[in-house]
Structure 1
Amino acid sequence: MAMAAGDIERLIKERFPDATVEIEDLAGDGDHYAATVVTEAFRGKSRVQQHQMVYAALKGNMGGELHALALKTSTPQ
């Protein structure tokens, strides 16, 4: 079962309320997404740490309901 883009955004926003989140369905199949997440919580963190934080926010859905997620993370400018 695929995961809806709105569910991905909701889970990320629950963990990072200040975040700007953009979700794009890459293949139109509800299974392959790209997400851009901008939040102050990433300040001082490496790119790997930022991505791990997003994966943790998805509460174990990566590899299950959510097959592929290309991440672009940053702090506010």
Structure 2
Amino acid sequence: MAMAADEIETLIRAGIPDARVEIVDLAGDGDHYEARVVAESFRGMPRVRQHQLVYAALGGRMGNELHALKLSTATPE
């Protein structure tokens, strides 16, 4: 079962309250997304830890309801 882009955004924002989130449906199938997450709370964290926080916010849906997610994270400039 596919996930809606707005649901992904809601989950990420709930888990990372200061995040600015952009979601793009890459294939138009509701199953392959790109997410760009920018958050001040990422400052000083290695990129791997930033990605772990995003995946944690998705609550285990990665690989289940959410098939593929191209993820990029950053801190505000």
One fold, TM greater than 0.5?
yes
User: How many residue pairs are counted as aligned between the two chains?
Assistant: 77
Residue of structure 2 equivalent to 1:7 = 7
| Alignment-mate amino acid for residue 3 of structure 2 | M
Structure 1 residue ranges without an equivalent (≥5): none
Q: Distance in 2 between matches of 1:46 and 1:19?
A: 16
Please, what is the CA RMSD of the aligned residues? 0.6
What TM-score, normalized to structure 2? 0.97
Matched position secondary structure for 2:51: helix
Q: Distance in 1 between matches of 2:18 and 2:48?
A: 20
| Alignment-mate amino acid for residue 30 of structure 2 | G
Moved over 6 A (4+): none
1:14 offset after TM fit, Å? 0.4
Q: Percent same amino acid at aligned positions?
A: 69
Residue of structure 2 equivalent to 1:58 = 58
| Alignment-mate amino acid for residue 69 of structure 1 | L
